[in-house]
Chain A
Amino acid sequence: MFDLERWQEIFDTIRKNKLRTFLTGLSVASGIFILVILLGFGQGMQNGVAHEFEEDAATSVWVWPGVTSKEFKGLNPGRSIQLKNENYESSLALFGDKIEYKSPRIFVRNVSVNYGKEALVYGIQGVSYDFQFIENANMSEGRFLNYQDEVTTAKVAIIGNKIKRDVFKDLESPLGEYINISGVLFKIVGTYSEREDREEERIYIPITTAQRVFNGGDRINNMSYTLPMEENFDQAVIKATAFKEKLQAHLQKAHTVAPEDTGAIQVWSALEEAKRYYSLIGNIKFFFWFVGICTIIAGVVGVSNIMLIVVKERTREIGIRKALGAKPWSIVGMILQESIFVTAISGFAGLIFSMGLLEIVGPYVEVDYILNPSVNFNVALSTVLVLIFAGAVAGFFPAWRAASIHTIDALRDE
């Protein structure tokens, strides 16, 4: 292996058989390249889905009212369900010990929003003070709503950073400024940032203020909760699903909705969704591995094919070398060393090229559900080693057979 003379002989052979070497190398390099890119995108998908779910708290559960679709206890289908404060309060009374954060929400509609002479077209939502943690909103300046605001129906507002950039760009800070919502002045006390721009286009005000000032009565549009984190993902999913089902059953009863009419009151659990996505990702990754391994097998078959042809083509040369005093094992060694060298160099070339591509292009991939495709270096490295090993094994048998042909027969080979 470390015989310099042997290496010189091999380099001579490679230099003088460029096409053969190139073709062998190409099949190996492309096999590795395809595998790494596939694995990279599998990982990218997982990253992307994980990222999408980080937007809201991972354990959040949301309640959205809908329309009944089934007749129940004499009530006609097609009835719209309206959530009320009492629904929210009863849910807290029943499940308070299982909940970490909770907040009702009301969308304030049919109002005009002005800042000075400028009309603003942003949605106004009345929420409770826990909502910050459910939405994963990060405070940039000031504070979020607090308990005091809710009790005193304070006229305070929290705005997203996008509003701050769009409307208050001339000011150093929007804190302390007043916006006019249908004739009522609200003082800005905080700004927040979110992962996505559209979630920064909201103005939050206390839910009590929203209900009293803007004729909300005791209506609410939806309710949201988070559950405490569990160490075990599967256990968290089980708990979230159980909570979801109990909450739904409770609300269905309160609104006289048939138990199987799940569309009337929809309860959505992020964890349950996440589990579905993760199992989908698992399947996709499995599929990518499957395709990748098939590619590798195709690569190995390609390499062995080329080795077979190479050895066949060199039978006469092998005969000449043996007549000149080459020992069978030195023939086998020479052919194997050459093939291992070629597969190794091209395998690593494919590896470096594909990983380089992922490194350079990966961070710029902007597709939903694909984020920063990358590949585990050890995995990629071991596939290269497997390919080299398989190539060597595939090359060994024809080389060994060629070396054991009778010299005179080998010399007669045309």
Chain B
Amino acid sequence: MIEIKDLHKSYKMGSNALHVLKGINFTVEEGELVAIMGSSGSGKSTLLNILGMLDVADSGEYTLDGVPIKNLNETKAANYRNKFLGFVFQSFNLINYKSALENVALPLYYQRVPRKERQARALKYLEQVGLKEWATHLPSELSGGQNQRVAIARAMASEPKVLLADEPTGALDSTTSYEVMDLIQKINDQGNTILVVTHEDDIAHMCKRIVYLKDGVIVEDKKVKQVRASEYV
């Protein structure tokens, strides 16, 4: 599903360049649930941003679902993001003046899905994350865990090939974190490919595979026995 070869990325910091990614090689198969771990500054967020086409690599190859991702301009990247990717952010990034339902329906708007169908589909995904009754509420009227579930529903609504989650539990307490991970595991059980960036060990072990990043290179890549989050809920 995802294939990257020799990926490099550096940021210019005044006169000296900060080399963040120093040749990353890695592949993700369909249906995998991968945790990317590492301390802050290890380059894990940069890697996720490049995978999410929110940032561009300096060199290296990136293939997503057989499509080589290169020569990206904003319009092309927007198209790919809309078709291939769903995002879950640490700070939810919901639009605060839109209701839960409208937030979930937004990616479908950019897919030019008609309004009626958009709302029906959005409601279906809200139901999947258990928030059907909260559809008309604004993000400010929901708890953090509920907001993250809305964000996951939004990411799923466009039926992406890959779900990218950047510290999805970073802003949540542990009980709520496990609820969110339980939801992510269930989505993965349906066959969706998911990448989770985290620095929490327990969250990483709820995935099926852990990739450790340190100073811009992969130091360890191992399959783990998945811990079901539902045991803690």
Contact = CB atoms under 8 A, between A and B. Distances in A.
A328 B94 CA distance: 19
Contacts of A12: 98, 102
A329 B75 contact: yes
Interface string A308-341: 0000000011011111111111100000000000
Given A16-B98, A407-B54, A5 B112 contact: yes
A8 interface: yes
B115 interface: yes
A9 interface: yes
Interface in B30-89: 49, 52, 54-55, 74-75, 78-79, 81-83, 87, 89
A404 interface: yes
A323 B160 CA distance: 13
Nearest to B46: A408
Interface size, B (range):
20 to 34
B93 interface: yes
Contacts of B114: 5
A324 B102 CA distance: 13
Contacts of B49: 408
Contact of B74 (A8, A9, A404): A404
Contacts of B109: 5, 9
Contact of B107 (A9, A325, A330): A325
Contacts of A329: 75
Interface in A393-414: 404, 406-408, 411
A324 B110 contact: yes
Contacts of B81: 322-325
Contact of A17 (B54, B83, B97, B102): B97
A13 interface: yes
A8 B98 CA distance: 13
A339 to B, nearest CB: 17
Looking at chain A's contact residues, the main secondary structure is: helix
B107 A320 contact: no
A411 B54 CA distance: 10
Given A16-B97, A406-B55, A407-B54, A322 B115 contact: no
B224 interface: no
Interface residues of A, number: 26
A317 B110 CA distance: 14
A327 B79 contact: yes
A320 B103 CA distance: 10
A406 B72 CA distance: 13
Contacts of B54: 323, 406-408, 411
Contacts of B18: none
A319 B81 CA distance: 13
A322 B97 contact: no
A322 B75 CA distance: 9
Nearest to A404: B74
A325 B82 contact: yes
A13 B82 contact: no
A317 B95 contact: yes
A17 B107 CA distance: 21
Contacts of B83: 325
B193 interface: no
Given A5-B112, A16-B97, A17-B97, A325 B102 contact: no
B111 interface: yes
A179 B81 CA distance: 102
B106 A321 contact: yes
Contacts of B89: 411
Interface in A355-414: 404, 406-408, 411
Interface of B: 49, 52, 54-55, 74-75, 78-79, 81-83, 87, 89, 93-95, 97-98, 102, 106-107, 109-112, 114-115, 154, 158
Interface of A: 5, 8-9, 12-13, 16-17, 316-317, 319-330, 404, 406-408, 411
Given A5-B112, A324-B81, A408-B54, 11 more contacts: A5-B115, A8-B115, A12-B98, A16-B98, A17-B97, A320-B95, A323-B54, A324-B82, A324-B158, A325-B82, A327-B79
Those 4 A-B pairs whose CB atoms lie nearest each other, nearest first: A325-B82, A16-B97, A325-B110, A324-B107
16 contacts: A8-B115, A9-B109, A316-B93, A317-B95, A321-B110, A322-B74, A322-B78, A322-B81, A323-B81, A325-B79, A325-B110, A327-B74, A328-B74, A328-B75, A329-B75, A406-B54
